[in-house]
Amino acid sequence: MEEKLEIDLAQLPEEGKAYRGELDSKVFGLSEKDVKSMGGLEYDLYVQRFDDELLLRGYLGSPFEFRCVRSNKLFVQTISIDEAAVSIEVVSGMIDVTEALREEVLINFPSYPKCDEGDEPMECVMDERYLALDKPAEGSVSDAPSDEQGDRWSALDGFNQFKDNQ
């Protein structure tokens, strides 16, 4: 496994070149408290140079262990980008594209990871003990006020901050 992917512009043919391999999971630099990398960053890219731009197109993927926001279970989900397109400004003869590939994977993390969306989907049910705090006690919800006076807007008269003549 490689630690970084460097493109040598002097060796890159004008029509482009295919690159395939796997980068070490250390490239993600994640703390294991949040998300844990379960494997390397696989890539299958076609690289072309256009004037002062390097374009990388293709597949990126890596498995991660997430904690479900509903059930609090750990599960593995592979972040796969089938049609990745990364553009990098050309600055020298050897370009390290590792950081750009890393960022492309990280921005595709799920906002709210759920275990039913993992590689091996699990039942994703919230423990009812956690819902008890949000439930009102029986009979604690009052009925809507009746419209005895026929004036629906009279309830707003009590809000002095909204009166024009203060």
Give the whole-angstrom CA distance, residue 137 versus residue 122.
32
Phi, psi of 102 (to 5 degrees): -55, -50
Structure confidence by residue, pLDDT tens digits, 14-67? 999 999 999 999 999 888 777 999 999 999 999 999 989 999 999 999 999 999
Structure confidence by residue, pLDDT tens digits, 60-96? 999 999 999 988 899 999 999 999 999 999 887 889 9
Q: In the beta sheet, which residues pair with residue 160?
A: none
pLDDT for the residue numbered 63: 97
Instruction: Assign 142 to helix, strand or coil.
Output: coil
pLDDT for the residue numbered 143: 58
Whether this prediction's pTM lies above 0.75 is answered by no
**DSSP strand pairing (94-96 vs 6-8):** antiparallel
List the chain domain ranges: 6-32+40-63+79-110
Query: Rounded to the nearest 5 degrees, what angle is found at the Cα of 105, between the Cα atoms of 22 and 97?
Result: 60
Instruction: Say if residues 7 and 89 touch (Cβ distance below 8 Å).
Output: no
